[in-house]
């Protein structure tokens, strides 16, 4: 989380000082520095594999693993739906509260989660989602 906050502060400063876009050299440099630490294992059985800027949106790519003996790949359709809804609400709160510094500098944040090398879930959050 500290690396994400540092990344956000750097991005916010670069955006403020240089009118950053995805093509801005400071953003490219920030993304290169951030991606230098990938893949990065996060505490919740998730691995951050890549961060990129696309069309003014930041995309975070994650690989998910089984959580504490819970095999996500064996979830029923209903369990997957409930899990995704819970994750969406949690991640929306993180975006709206903890990542508010990005709202004015990006079109959106896109979080892409893969499980067993297949896209498992994807969420996109925009500033308008926080009202």
Residue 95 burial (CB count, 10 A): 22
Q: Report pLDDT digits (tens) over 99-131.
A: 887 777 778 889 999 998 899 999 999 999 998
Specify the CATH number for 2-130; select among 3.50.50.60, 3.30.300.250, 3.40.50.150, 3.60.70.12: 3.30.300.250
**CA–CA distance, 46 with 18 (Å, rounded to integer):** 33
Place of tokens 């959106």: 108
Closest CA to 107 of 58, 57, 51: 57
**CA–CA distance, 23 with 86 (Å, rounded to integer):** 34
Q: Report pLDDT digits (tens) over 69-104.
A: 788 888 999 999 999 999 999 999 999 998 887 777
Q: pTM for this structure?
A: 0.75
pLDDT cut 90: percent of the chain above it: 40
């Amino acid at each position: 989380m500290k690396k994400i906050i540092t990344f956000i502060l750097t991005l916010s400063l670069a955006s403020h000082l240089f009118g950053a876009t995805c093509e801005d050299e400071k953003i490219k440099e920030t993304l290169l520095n951030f991606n230098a630490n990938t893949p990065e294992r996060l505490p919740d059985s998730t691995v951050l594999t890549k961060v990129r800027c696309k069309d003014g949106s930041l995309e975070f790519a994650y690989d998910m693993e089984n959580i504490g003996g819970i095999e996500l790949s064996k979830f029923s359709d209903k369990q997957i739906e409930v899990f995704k809804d819970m994750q969406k609400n949690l991640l929306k709160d993180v975006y709206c509260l903890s990542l508010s510094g990005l709202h004015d500098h990006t079109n959106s944040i896109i979080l892409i989660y893969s499980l067993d090398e297949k896209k498992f879930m994807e969420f996109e959050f925009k500033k308008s989602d926080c009202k």
